[in-house]
Amino acid sequence: MERSLKNILVLSFGFLLLFTAYWGLQTLQSSLYSEEGLGVAALSTLYGGMLLSSMFLPPILIKKLGCKWTIVIAMCCYVSFTLGNFYASWYTLIPTSILLGLGAAPLWSAQGTYLTIMGNTHAEKRGKVRRDVVSQYFGIFFLIYQSSGVIGNLISSLVFGQTPAQGSGFLGILLTAVFLEPVKDAQQKSEGEKQASPFWSTLLSTVKLFRDKRLCLLVLLPLYSGFQQAFLAGDYTRSYITCALGIQFVGYVMICFSAVNALCSVLYGKLAQYTGRTALFALGALIHLSCITGLLLWKPHPRQLPLFFVFPGLWGAADAVWQTQNNALFGVLFEKNKEAAFASYRLWEALGFVIAFGYSMFLCVSVKLYVLLGVLSLAMAAYGTVEYLGSKKVARLLTEEQTKPAEEGVTKTKT
């Protein structure tokens, strides 16, 4: 087995074990701990902590500790949240939710950076296109990672109200710490070691990256990702599933979402090299547009059982686009500032979660769906603008390369 693929599998199965316990708990937060709003409060503080840590922590930890040990330490924060659910109360869930939020941004930023470096390294060795390999690696990762949603929700459904596979988080930490190889970016080796970045420069690198107008446009993609995930985890499970079918169906319905998401993730990772990412983004937008329209028109009834599974299945097919292609896009476009780029990604995704959970108790479902529709439209317009500007830049460079030999020929003739 190739070294890069071996490390991708170790990382993926480490996340699988870690999130097997976490997925089922997160899905049930808004329904299981509905008294006095504890579940929604826990999710809100979780993503509030993630929002705060995204601004500063990921670049510093990744620079100082490397991707591997940043991931291991952040995994411990997730395990603390799992333990907090043993004795769920305001005094256990809120502090552990904050701790989890602080660890989430470094975890996912290090994960994105690691996969991007591995993809670029493998592409250089094999003479392949970088963006295709990076997209494929993210597809493999999310295939395995999303399987944790299937396992975690299955356990939480069969043994309702129990902590799903509580020991799996510790196994995930152990697997990652022992078998995941440290990795260093080739660019850091050639440039970074010549002159170490000052501490304050690293601390503010996420903020400084917003000087790039492409990032200013693309932040709407992770913002929408946060909105749509929050809607499914908080509003769909509570307002559609729990109200019409009962809380015992929440896990089974979410299994459908995770299973379709996992299969589509690896499919999109392979398809990207043939269709290009633009076609996949268009597909994801079309699917979510159809789902939002359908949910606005649908009046759920217990006798319409298949529809309760169709919507999360389609939602998962679109979410697979956002997870695989968004991450690959940020890794490819901001290759020189990967740590800050992925930190910015998590910052805006967390902001989407916080806003969505924040208005969850005040707005009706139809208004939330219209908000989703508006943010999706803006995100796609911004993404299209970035692709257009990129294509113009490529066309200009090609034109300059073609005219340069002709100009050199004229100069030689004059001489």
Q: Which fold has domain 3-182+212-398?
A: Growth Hormone; Chain: A; (1.20.1250)
Amino acid 269: pLDDT:
93
Q: Token pair for residue 249?
A: 């169906």
* Token pair 């257009």: residue: 388
Ordered mean pLDDT values, 10 residues apiece, the chain (415 residues): 88 93 63 62 79 87 93 94 80 89 93 94 90 94 92 73 66 95 69 55 75 94 94 87 85 91 95 93 97 93 92 96 95 90 91 85 91 96 94 76 63 58
- Nearest-CA neighbor of 319 among 219, 217, 229? 229
- CB neighbourhood size of 241 (10 A): 24
SS3 call for 244:
helix
Amino acid 189: pLDDT:
54
For the chain, the structural domain boundaries read: 3-182+212-398
SS3 call for 163:
coil
What is the Cα–Cα distance from 263 to 222, expressed in whole angstroms?
A: 21
Phi-psi bin for 89: left (phi > 0), alpha (psi -120 to 50), beta?
Answer: beta
Over the range 52-91, which residues count as b (16 or more CB within 10 Å of their CB) and which as e? Answer: bbbbbbbbbbbbebbbbbbbbbbbebbbbbbebbeebeee
What is the Cα–Cα distance from 345 to 384, expressed in whole angstroms?
A: 18
User: Cα-Cα-Cα-Cα dihedral of 275, 276, 277, 281, to 10°?
Assistant: -40
Helical axes 130-158 vs 3-32, angle rounded to 10°: 40
Amino acid 372: pLDDT:
96
Q: What is the pTM of this model?
A: 0.87
Contact 8, 141 (CB under 8 A): yes
Amino acid 28: pLDDT:
57
User: Is residue 400 exposed (0-12), middle (13-18) or buried (19+ Cβ within 10 Å)?
Assistant: exposed
Q: Token pair for residue 45?
A: 């503080």
